[in-house]
A and B are shown apart, each in its own frame.
Chain A
Amino acid sequence: MQNLDSFLDVSPFALILLGAVFVHACFQLSVSVLTLLSSHSIGRRLPNNRLFNLNFWYITGVAVTIALLQLGAMATYRWASGWDSTLATIVTFAIIPFVALLMVFVYYRRGRGTQLWLPRPAAEYITTRAKKTKSSVEAFALGATTAVAELPFALAPLAIVAFAFQGFNSEHWLQLAIGYALAVTLPLIFVALFLSSGHKVSSVQRWREDAKGYLKWTSAITLFVLMIYITVLQIGSMS
């Protein structure tokens, strides 16, 4: 019975974390840059182990940056709620539906292909860097840049996790941030393994194009559901 009680205590947090990870993993910029990096590396006739190495450091760059951003979000939330907790809650709950609407109407460009909304200078910079990346350090930096460039949209899942886990002891923040970053980068790891094993970039691109509508709507709906779920939990804890 005690086990069941502890499961019921943990499950809301686990569900929120799962939902936030799903939404963050649906963002396509890091996958897009990974396929760009891979296609240029394959075009340069790099052996598969070298391609795997570049992809590994790229993914590490993305994961480390996401973990740092998550830690930053949690620290900011702790600081803001200490200052004015109502305002912090209002800002968090304003960001989530705003990002959900952006996901539906702005993030994925209409028409064929897998183009995303990005400021043109940022997109051109990332494209140029993806073409020129040859070393592990450059791949790591490219991953970090990509994770930061996606921040306007990633803010929603990061804020959800920071809000839901505000009561957690700060000693556990690092484990949470690392676990979150690893879970978010799982699709990248899968794509990197797929490409390093000799498959074509075009098959990943075709899958992404086919799944565009699904990813767009499920991530937006998940954000709304998470917002409602957290609100219900908040009301439940107050009464």
Chain B
Amino acid sequence: MTPNLSRALGRRSRAQIVALLKVQAKLSLREPYALGVGVGLPTVLLVVFGFISKAVPGNVGSTGLNVIDLYIPVIMVISFIGIAISLPSTLVRDREIGWLRRVSTTPVHPAQLLGAQLVINLVFAAVAIVVAMVGGSVIFGAPLSVDIPFFILSVVLAIAEIFSLGLVVVALVRTQSAAGVVGGVLFFGLLFLSGLWVQPDQVTGPLQYILLYSPSGSAVRALLYSVFGEAPPVTILVAVIGYTLVFAFVAVRYFRWE
């Protein structure tokens, strides 16, 4: 391959990537499920728990933490859940209506379409992280002391785990209506397990164990330790990594483009 040709091909694939990102960004703004549940909902929750924290300051379940301190990681994980649950609603539809098949007749593989959508969703997740961290500490006074390496690791693992779970739904569910039902049930299940309604420190026994080591609960724990300057326990990290591997395997194994 001559240098000129490979440069031309490089330009072409860059042009493809830019065009895909542009279209996926526009569609994500016109069908704002991911934006609404992934950024809007966490923002509302931040305000709600921020004011609760100011009204009822002090120790939750003798953890030494305020309400807002405990809920910053929960809010971040809820953003990831919201975005992951929005993946099936668009991807299952795009497959059902034959859009992914249509794209597969062009030089672009539908995987690139999915990739572009994931990039846009990562941007939404990043916005939600900034809202939760900056809003939580600056506006509502959470005394964060972020352990940067563990924080980055926890964020990457949490997003990988929860997004993979969304892709499992895309892989296993055939129709848009089924995706709505499965996504809805999963959404509230994961919200509960993340500790939105009950924190693991407020309960004992098996429920506490479930809340700590569930897919969304373990992601919350990993983030909680790392935003308060501590290394997450190995058991928590192993749980998150284990879930990620299982979900990713199932998603890849059963994924269909048409």
Partners in one complex: no
Interface residues of A (CB under 8 A from B): none
